[in-house]
Structure formats: structure tokens, C-alpha cells
Structure 1
Amino acid sequence: MARWEPNARQRLVVAALDLFTEQGYDDTTVAEIAERAGLTKTTFFRHFPNKREVLFAGQDIHGRLVADGIAGAPEAATPLQAVAAGLDEVTASFTQAQREFGPRLQAVIAGHTELQEREVFKRAHLAAAMTDALRKRGVEELAANLAADLGARAFSRAFTRWVEPANERTFTELARQALDELRNAIRALE
């Protein structure tokens, strides 16, 4: 094998998802993932600490993108408008390949408690990035936390809709729609 392999990280993600789908999460080893990707086990561990994390690749990038979008929102934007700008930024980064393997990713996660717990942590990480970005804009802590929680929920709802085979809308459109639905749900509570 060559010392440097292009797209190693993405190849590992695809190989892991393929193997988890074919033979199950518990029955797949890191060595098998690396072999399927045409890489070594050492290369796997340069990119991921364990096989669980391979399914959550990009979490840090998503946090940075959403925070950048919030920071770049107009100064007069409300907290939810800033969150919408953050959602626009992060959802625009998703590719067609991510959409295509989304249903398989969701199925693997749904079938394993450890992965479901990790998915909750991923959503909390995204919400924390939004909260921090809102606080930097001067938004009071409670309002920042609530707006960020709505943003993270909107992201999750939109992702589920975006990967549906019949969907023809963009991830960004669906995230905006989900955020509006959550706003309306809050109004209905009063």
C-alpha cells in the first residue's frame, strides 16, 4: 500500500458504513474497515479513535460552519435568525454522496444503542457550538441555549427529511422549514 492515500478519511467512512450494513456494527472490526478501504489499520487510527467515531466524521467541521454562519448573520438579526444563518452555512456543505448514504447511516444508528447515544452527543455538540456563537453575539445565556436547541432539532429533522428518497428539496430549505415548524410549535404552547 502507498504511504499516502488520497481521500483516506472518506474511504474509511464509506467502507465502515458498507460493512456495518452488510454484517452489522458489532461484527465489524477496524481491520476489516481499513482493508475494505484499501488502507492499513494504522491509517484508520490516524483518522478515528475507534469504529464508532467513523460514523460521526465531520462533527467538528459542522460545529465550526454553524458558528461561522451565526457570526456572519446581520448585526440586527434575532437569535433565531442568526441560527437560521448558521443552519444555512452548515447544510450547504453537505454533498449528494452524504445524502445517498444517509438512510443507511440512520439504519445502522437506529439498530445500536451505543450509536444512538453517540448521535445524541453529536446533536448536543452542534447545539453547544450554536450557543457559543450566539453568546459571542451578546445573546443572553438562556435565550442562546433555547435558540441553539431549536437549531439542533431543526438540523436533525431536516436531515431525516433530506435523505428520504422521494425528497426533492435542498437540505437548507428543509432546515429553514423545520426551524419555522419549531417556532410555530412554541407559539402553540402559549
Structure 2
Amino acid sequence: MTRKPIAKNADARTAWWEGLPAGIREQVDGYVLQDSLLAAVRVLVDVGFVRDGVGVGTAQLIVGDRYAHYGDRVAREPDSPLDPESLALRADGVVGRVVAIEAIWDGDTVHDWFVVLLAVAEDPDAEHVLATIPWGAAERHLGEGADRGARHPSAVVAERAGEALAARLRVPFHFASPDTPDDEAPRWRA
């Protein structure tokens, strides 16, 4: 008997999901509603790998389907404020004189690539996180259908917010790799 590949077929993923016991579905949905992507994926791999060949990639697609099902009901971490007043107030709280605003790439298994907006202080020599801008937060900030070209939305938002804040504080803005995610791009130096 030939099975449809679960990963490439939304109907097959739905059928596989619906064939799971209610307790497993409730556990996965509980993790999804808490925005615990990795925990939900782990449960599906643990119960589906040996029997059905459900690996991490397929489990991520199934969990993604569950995120889409619940939409706004998922309790997500609040977005960092990106309005000029909030960013300026956060920069005002930095110990030492702010000498630059910098945007850098970072990434993890939950958000993929995202941009961190930093205030760079001179004395003491330190950097302070002003905002973290993952893809979803950037899309919400830009609004539906916003023209960002082929660029990552996090880069577009970070560049706009960073340039505005730097101009307001009369300091330089630095973003070494605005067009391509690169967590090893050169950093700002005075």
C-alpha cells in the first residue's frame, strides 16, 4: 500500500493529525496555544517518527497548520515597541552616553532570522537591546501588503526605526548587512 507523503500534502497532514489520539492532539494544541513551537514539534516526532516517518520537517508543517488554525488565539510574546517615542525612552535609560544605534542579525530555532536594535554606549563600553524584531512582528508593524521589495521585513523595519532613532539622538546608525541575514557581519566601532 502506497501512502501519500504527509509533508507535501495538506490533506494527508490533516488526516494524520485527525488519526492521533485526542490526548496527543490536546497536548500539541496546548503547546501551540502557549507558543511553544519546539515542544509541540517534539511531541509529534516522538509519536510519529517510528510508525509513520514523521520527522522534524513534517512535524513543523503540522504544527504550523495548528498555528494557522488558532491564529490570534496563540499567546505570543508581545512585540517590542518600535515607535520613535518608545525607542527614545528606552535609549534614555541606557547608562552612559549613547554613541550609535546599531542593527544586527541573530537567529534561533523558533524565529529563524531576526534583527536586534541596539544602543551602543561609550562609557561604560556596552550595548543595550532596544528592540527585537522577528519576521512576524515586522510584518505586523509594516502592515499587510507593505512594499518591502525582496528584503526581509525585519531588516526593513529595523532600518527605518534605527535611522529615525539615530537622527533623533544625533548619532550614527549602523547596519552592516541590511539585505542579507548575516550574524557575522562587521560591527560598529567608534
Given the two structures, how large is their TM-score scaled by the length of structure 1?
0.35
Larger radius of gyration: 2
- From the two aligned structures, give the one with the greater helix fraction: 1
Given the two structures, how large is their TM-score scaled by the length of structure 2?
0.35
- From the two aligned structures, give the one with the greater strand fraction: 2
- The one of the two structures with greater contact order (alpha-carbon pairs below 8 A, sep at least 6) is 1
